[in-house]
Amino acid sequence: MMEKKLWGLDLNILKNMYDREAAALKSALLNGASWDDVKDQRRKVTELSIAIHKLRYRSGNPAESSSRSEP
């Protein structure tokens, strides 16, 4: 699975990859591609999202993350 290979990448690289893949997916859908036609792109976007989440919160509870906004 591609997801495990992504875990070793830098967060900014993952975010850039996610932005590109999400834009490509959106464009394909807006240009009339069927949901089934973009299955591989949807999987890539999902795997990138999971990798970003895991990298961001690998230290434990997301509620205790230093990146969490202060009230």
- Looking at residue 32, its pLDDT comes to 97
Residue 23 CA: distances (Å) to CA of 8, 26, 69 = 23, 5, 27
- Looking at residue 59, its pLDDT comes to 55
Encode pLDDT of 8-37 as tens digits: 788 899 999 999 999 999 999 999 999 999
- Looking at residue 3, its pLDDT comes to 55
Neighbours of 6 (CB within 10 A): 20
Instruction: Indicate whether 38 belongs to any domain.
Output: yes
Instruction: Indicate whether 40 belongs to any domain.
Output: yes
Instruction: Indicate whether 70 belongs to any domain.
Output: no
- What is the domain count for the chain? 1
Instruction: Indicate whether 22 belongs to any domain.
Output: yes
Instruction: Indicate whether 65 belongs to any domain.
Output: no
Q: Say if residues 22 and 45 touch (Cβ distance below 8 Å).
A: yes
pLDDT at 1 over 60: no
Encode pLDDT of 41-67 as tens digits: 999 999 999 989 888 887 555 565 555
Domain of 36 in residue numbering reads as 2-54
